[in-house]
Amino acid sequence: MINAVIFDFDGLIFDTESHEYNVLNEIFQEHGSELPLPVWGKVIGTQAGFKPLLYLEEQLGEKLDQDMLEKLLNERFQERLKNEGPLPGVVEYLKAAKESGLKIGLASSSTYEWVSSHLKNLCLFDYFECIRTSDDVEEVKPNPSLYLKAASCLGVEPEECLVFEDSANGALAAKRAGMYCVIVPNEVTKDLNFCEVDDRIDSMAVIELKQLIAKIENRT
């Protein structure tokens, strides 16, 4: 029986991923290059040490002003995020989970400062009983530690948890943790190769949370 829902953050609650990729690709194109989505897709949802602006330098075979490019990337990225709200259906899922008495957690490979500041700006912070981030583990997704720590924090067993993810690395972490997982891919992650999951939906707005949970529980 599902007694808890655990959400990813980037690309699932707040669409940082599409904006980051689009800004990066703009910078690449301005230098006569391109950041292939399959290359970028491998590092979504994890911390792989991949430096896209150094990758641009390698593609061009010339030295670039990395500080200037980082500043440009950050300015453009923050400008795009400024007027963004939660992705469709997110608020409705959080409200439905709370009304149903489900425990609500979050597990993200990003830092606590990043996640909490955006959740507060989106007026969503208070929905979460437990937030686990890269600050809490030695290894982020696809390692299952983040999800296992979130379940422990919520006081539930892994098999009682339903995870919502948008990335391949995140989905793999959830399944390795022994949890149910529904993927909600975004424009950047929709063509990634995902592990076997319990369901895939285009948006949280296409099906009510209660219906989705019933659908998953009826299969087991």
| Cβ-Cβ contacts under 8 Å for 29 (sequence gap 6 or more) | none
- Whether the CB-CB separation of 15 and 84 falls below 8 Å is answered with yes
Q: Smallest Cα–Cα separation from 7: which of 215, 166, 176?
A: 166
**Residue at token pair 């209660």:** 210
| Cβ-Cβ contacts under 8 Å for 176 (sequence gap 6 or more) | 142, 143, 144
- Whether the CB-CB separation of 146 and 139 falls below 8 Å is answered with no
The crossing angle, in degrees rounded to 10, of helices 66-81 and 52-60 is: 130
- Whether the CB-CB separation of 60 and 33 falls below 8 Å is answered with yes
- Whether the CB-CB separation of 184 and 164 falls below 8 Å is answered with yes
Interatomic CA distance for residues 174 and 30, integer angstroms:
38
Which residue among the candidates 10, 15, 166, 198 is catalytic per the annotation? 10
The question of whether 10 is a catalytic residue gets the answer yes
Q: Smallest Cα–Cα separation from 129: which of 108, 99, 150?
A: 150
The question of whether 166 is a catalytic residue gets the answer no
Interatomic CA distance for residues 44 and 69, integer angstroms:
20
Provide the annotated active-site residues. Answer: 8, 10
